Structures are given as C-alpha cells and as structure tokens.
Amino acid sequence: MLVQVLDDEKTHTILSLDEFDSLVEKEGPEAIYKLTRLQEMRQNKPQRLSLICILRGSEILAKLDASTRSTLQSNIVNLQRYSTKELMDILNERIILAFRPSAVPEETVDLVSELAYSENGNARFAIELLWRAGKYADADDLATVLPDCVRRATSSIVSGVRKSDLATLSFHERLLLLSIARLFKETQEAVVSLADAERAYVVVCEEFNASPYSHTQLWKYIKNFANLGIIETKVSGAGTRGRSTDISLPRISAGELEKEMEKVLNKVKEDEH
C-alpha cells in the first residue's frame, strides 16, 4: 500500500528505522527479508523506497539469512560513541527545556556526562539520569540538582556498589570510605581531593579510637576502591606536592555509603565493648 501511494504521487521515501535491533528480535528474519526485497517484487518500476537501519551493533545481523545480510551490509557507516563534550551539549539543551535557570550546576552536568560516557557514550542513559536526578532534587525540595542526586539516580538505574564488595573491606578501608562519604555529604561537590579525604580520615580515626595509617597505605586502599568500582580517580593539576588526585563517587550516594559503613563500624565498636 505504501509503495502504491508513492507510485501514485511519483515520489520517493527514505524510511529510517531506529532501534533496528528490536525490529529483528520482534518480527524475525522473514519480515526483514520482505522489507529489503520490496523492489524485487516491482520489476521495471522505479525504486520508491530506501532504507536506513540504525542499530547498536552488527551482531544482530547474524540472525538474518545470507541474502538479507548482504543487502544490509552493502553500505555501513560506523558512528563513534558520543564524547563527554557532546553529551554535555545534549544535556544542556535538555536542561534549557526542562529546568529552571541555574537549577543544574555545571559540576552536575559534568558528572552525568562522565557517567554516560562510561556507559558507551549512551545519550539516552544520560537523559534518564538527569531526569531521575531532577526527581530526587524535587523530592528533597532542593533548589538545585546536586551531584549526590545524580549518585542516587545512578544506583536506581544500574547495579551500583555491591554490598558483598563492601563486606570484604578491612577496618581501616571502612574508616577511609566513611571519611569519603561524609566529605561528599558535607561538601555536596562532584569531586573531592585525596588530600581532603586523608584529613577527613584522621578525624574519623579519632572517633573510632584508631591510629591513622600512612599516605602510602591509604593510596593502596584508594586503588582498591577504584578497582571495585566504588570510586573513580583522576589525576588533576599541580597540588602542594605536585600533581594531585581527585576522587569521585559516581555509583552510590554519599548518604547510602555513610549508612553502610557506620552500620559495620558501629557493630565492631559494640563487639569490642
């Protein structure tokens, strides 16, 4: 019917099929075969319909027959994933449409774009993350969407920090994590410096009557946290001793992490008494 209308109008259509992967999964190879063979059913007639199929990866094409694959693979354009800068541009356009002026700080946009970039540059993930973070800010009656709103949103979308990973940590690792959680909760920043985290750790050690460990040992703990996906680290510009390390807490809210660490550490405290 569509092709008949195009013939009657003497016009051409480019049909762009987004999420083509889903079409293959839902309709199966036969429907795709017919779609790509429309012209063969119309001998000696103009080609009225052309296809652009947009898919996440070419692996799904293995489910199609050889002739259909040959047709679809004749012209392939591979698109690179969005960069953090491109994701920020997309987010800022949505922010203009959906939020009051100054409601979303630049550091929050940076955090969302970094998280979305780590998810293969997924713009849809970035937009959903921003939307959920805004909902958390609304629920808490906040004037701005803080980085911790983004962390809470992240843990609601993807599996965040596994409690089994937290359970394997040593006493001083837990002290350091509690310090980091409280520091993020207090500052409401997207990143904190390792130096500030170490100072906060000393305060927490006093609270739990523990002697602080050295910088070298704490750095080993930080690398372990990063390997477990609890935190992320990035070397920034020059600090008092040269280059400094920034810490971000992308996949769990500061409040959740503080609660988990306090629960375990307070139990240790009670057992000692």
Tokens of 36: 């790509």
Model confidence at 253, pLDDT cuts 50, 70, 90, reads: confident
CATH code of the domain covering residue 203: 1.10.10.10
Residue 204: its H or E element = helix 194-207
Tokens of 257: 């992490």
Sequence-distant (6+) residues with CB within 8 A of 261 are 166, 174, 177, 178, 181
Q: Are 43 and 79 within 8 A, CB to CB?
A: no
Q: Residues 216-243: pLDDT tens digits? A: 999 999 998 988 888 889 887 654 455 7
Name the nearest CA neighbour of 230 among 249, 256, 217: 249
Are 169 and 266 found together in one domain? yes
Q: Which residues pair with 248 in a beta bridge?
A: 191, 232
Among the candidates 38, 72, 106, a domain finishes at 72
AA letter at 72: L
Tokens of 121: 């540059």
Are 186 and 251 found together in one domain? yes
Model confidence at 199, pLDDT cuts 50, 70, 90, reads: very high
Are 183 and 265 found together in one domain? yes
Is 78 within the bounds of a domain? Answer: no
Among the candidates 157, 187, 207, a domain finishes at 157
> Which position has the token pair 């993350």?
129
Burial code (b: 16+ CB inside 10 Å, e: under 16) for 197-208 equals bbebbeebbeeb
Are 9 and 59 found together in one domain? yes
Res. 162: pLDDT tops 70: no
Total domain count for the chain? Answer: 3
Are 207 and 149 found together in one domain? no
- Could you tell me the CA-to-CA distances from 142 to 98, 137, 145, 147, 149 in Å, in that order? 16, 5, 7, 12, 10
Whole-number Å distance between alpha carbons of 151 and 251 = 5
- Give the residue numbers spanning the domain of 56: 2-72
CATH code of the domain covering residue 109: 1.10.8.60
Whole-number Å distance between alpha carbons of 225 and 165 = 9
Among the candidates 133, 157, 181, a domain finishes at 157
Query: Higher confidence at residue 41 or residue 128?
Result: 128
Say whether 83 sits in a helix, a strand or coil: coil
Are 171 and 152 found together in one domain? no
pLDDT at res. 121 = 87
Q: Which residues pair with 242 in a beta bridge?
A: 239
- DSSP character at residue 158: S
Are 215 and 245 found together in one domain? yes
Are 179 and 265 found together in one domain? yes
Whole-number Å distance between alpha carbons of 192 and 179 = 11
Are 143 and 124 found together in one domain? yes
pLDDT at res. 88 = 97
Name the nearest CA neighbour of 250 among 166, 192, 173, 186: 192
pLDDT at res. 49 = 87
Whole-number Å distance between alpha carbons of 152 and 30 = 44
Are 254 and 202 found together in one domain? yes
Whole-number Å distance between alpha carbons of 227 and 258 = 20
Is 194 within the bounds of a domain? Answer: yes
AA letter at 184: F
Are 184 and 263 found together in one domain? yes
Are 232 and 179 found together in one domain? yes
Tokens of 60: 């799904």
Q: What is the arithmetic mean of pLDDT over 262-271?
A: 79
Is 50 within the bounds of a domain? Answer: yes
